[in-house]
Amino acid sequence: MVLHFIVRGRVQGVGFRWFVHREASELELRGWVRNTEDGEVEVVVTGDEAALTELRASLKRGPRGSRVDKVIEHTLVESEGADLKAFKIEGAW
């Protein structure tokens, strides 16, 4: 299963990408997280359904200091997850 999330709210400048990285890595998911130019956080992730359900709940909760207003979710075709490796933060310096 491959999912794409857009997280809206106060999600930049509060450690949200690092939070997602930790949660996804602990769940042994593959994929990436990055900030968007629109002030959102984007996540593409693949793994088993139970782990993805846990990550979804974490995205809705967010780390301390964040405020999640909305989580938009799309299911992608399986082939979109074929090249995903260990979970990483994209665009991190």
Smallest Cα–Cα separation from 62: which of 10, 27, 26? Answer: 10
Is the Cα dihedral 57, 72, 81, 15 positive or negative? negative
**17 tagged catalytic:** yes
Smallest Cα–Cα separation from 63: which of 4, 7, 3? Answer: 7
Q: Looking at 8, 35, 64, 67, which residue is catalytic? A: 35
Q: In 3-state terms, what secondary structure has residue 58?
A: helix
**67 tagged catalytic:** no
Q: Looking at 17, 22, 56, 64, which residue is catalytic? A: 17
Q: Where in the sequence numbering do the catalytic residues fall? A: 17, 35
